[in-house]
Amino acid sequence: MTNQPEGPSVRLLRVGEQVRHVLSDILQRGDVHDDVLAKHVVSVTEVRMSPDLRHATVFVKSLLGQDEEAVLKALRTNTAYLQREVAHRIRLKYASKLKFLADESFDEGSHIDKLLRDPKVARDLTPDEGED
């Protein structure tokens, strides 16, 4: 029986959070000279690091989910610049390769909330009159 921790290590979480802060700062300041990114507010919601810290999956959400595909394309077009900036600001042995994905967790949460508010489901969630 091994004592393997469940989920990512503290170091992976810490580095992922540092990368998230750096990317958020770059996007907030408008350091990326891209027309699409200049027109949209982009939130970096999460960064998941690979165990060797060489790859970072970056989850992003544009404000109100507007033009999500165009924003992702702009981020992917500017990946080399963003990788250089992250490597420069966070001193790691290797510059992490960034992969940008849309954050679907908000959509999933909204979908679950909508399901729970459905009258048929709400009826099943309320206790029956005869039960104690």
Whole-model pTM? 0.74
DSSP letter at 128 equals P
What the chain holds in terms of domains, given with CATH numbers, is: 10-104 (3.30.300.20)
Between CA 84 and CA 7 the distance in angstroms is: 28
* Residue pair 32/26 in contact by the 8 Å Cβ criterion: yes
CA atoms within 13 A of residue 118's CA, in its CB half-sphere: 9
Q: Give me the pLDDT at residue 120, please.
A: 74
Give residue 1's pLDDT: 46
Q: Which pLDDT does position 57 carry in this prediction?
A: 96
Which token pair is 61?
A: 């959400």
Predicted confidence at residue 92, as pLDDT, reads 78
| Residue 99 parent element (H or E) | strand 97-102
Tokens of 16: 């992922």
What pLDDT does 63 receive? 81
| Residue range 96-108, pLDDT digits in tens | 999 999 988 766 6
> Which pLDDT score, from 0 to 100, does residue 127 have?
66
**pLDDT-flagged residues of the chain (< 50):** 1
Q: What is the mean pLDDT of the chain?
A: 84
